[in-house]
Amino acid sequence: MDLSALESALKALEASLDSLAHLLMFWTALVVVGLAVEYHEDFKQLLTGRPRTRKRWPVVVGGALITIGVAGELGTQFKASRVETDIRSKSHQIEGLLDVAAGGAQQKAKEAGERAESADLARVQLEAILSPRRLSLNQQQAIANSCRRFAGRRVIIMSYAGDAEAMVLAEQIRAALHAARIEADLSTGGLLTAGSLLKGVQVSGPNEDFRVALESSLKNDGHLEIAGPKEKRVPEGSGSMETGAMTFGPSDASIFVGVKPPVLLPLP
């Protein structure tokens, strides 16, 4: 039985109790009237009769006391009924105030929970801004599972010179590909460039299926931001250096780990 049903049942019982109390007072009143009628003549004779009639005074006095006692009981029941009604009324008022207080407490708890969630979200967002890009062990395993069908292929992983954050991420990508039996060569920290920098991770290569699979796994399993088609392209298989050039052997795909994308306000 739910709360509303219990409250309805309680109200019905209280109404029934009130009816019984009124009925009890009615029957008690009848008893008082009956006693008054029964002892009326005896009492009258006691007051106005001859001396010999006054010998019946114990009977008359006893009846009078019974009548007064029952009448007093009736009055007490009436007052007790009113007090009981007042008590129930005050109890209902207290329950109402407690319900209001409980509702207020629940609302405050809800607001506190929402503030805590907002604070947690802000903390997570701040951590995402300040923390370096990293692949957890579970993410590395997921990438390995997604790319295992391309076992035996060869990949070159590159990054800009001096970008330690990208170098560590490139190491983790190579570990994930090695777990998938894909040969991955690192050539990180050797590429210098003038002008704009590639943001995010860019996958390129002649094999479209392999390229798309790598890009999809790094994005969906590694939760890395993939450089879009309009981003600055990186030479496939080669990288220019300030002091010369470096050349890599043939590969099925190349992964360039660019700088971590900054958080920017949206354009108006």
| SS3 at position 109 | helix
- Mean pLDDT score of the chain: 77
**Higher pLDDT pick, 268 / 202:** 202
Across 75-85, average pLDDT: 69
Beta carbons of 249 and 235 less than 8 angstroms apart: no
Q: Is the pTM of this model over 0.85?
A: no
**DSSP track, the chain:** --HHHHHHHHHHHHHHHHHHHHHHHHHHHHHHHHHHHHTHHHHHHHHHS-GGGGGGHHHHHHHHHHHHHHHHHHHHHHHHHHHHHHHHHHHHHHHHHHHHHHHHHHHHHHHHHHHHHHHHHHHHHHHHHHSPP---HHHHHHHHHHHGGGTT-EEEEEEETT-HHHHHHHHHHHHHHHHTT-EEEEEEEEE--SS---BSEEEE-S-HHHHHHHHHHHHHTS-PPBPPTTSPP--TTEEEETTEEEE----SEEEEE-BPPPP-PPP-
Output the pLDDT for position 122. 77
CB proximity list for 238: less than 8 A, separation 6 or greater: 245, 246, 247, 248
Note the Cα 218 to chain centre separation in Å: 32
**Higher pLDDT pick, 108 / 58:** 108
Across 220-226, average pLDDT: 94
Is 11 a residue whose pLDDT tops 90?
no
What pLDDT, in 10s, does the model give residues 190-202? Answer: 777 666 788 899 9
Q: 211-215, 221-225, 260-264: which has the minimum mean pLDDT? A: 260-264
Question: Quick one: pLDDT band at residue 236, thresholds 50, 70, 90?
Answer: very low
Output the pLDDT for position 26. 73
**Higher pLDDT pick, 268 / 148:** 148
Output the pLDDT for position 194. 63
Output the pLDDT for position 167. 93
Among 214, 266, 257, 217, which Cα is nearest to 234's?
257
Question: Quick one: pLDDT band at residue 162, thresholds 50, 70, 90?
Answer: confident
**Higher pLDDT pick, 131 / 74:** 131
Is 112 a residue whose pLDDT tops 50?
yes
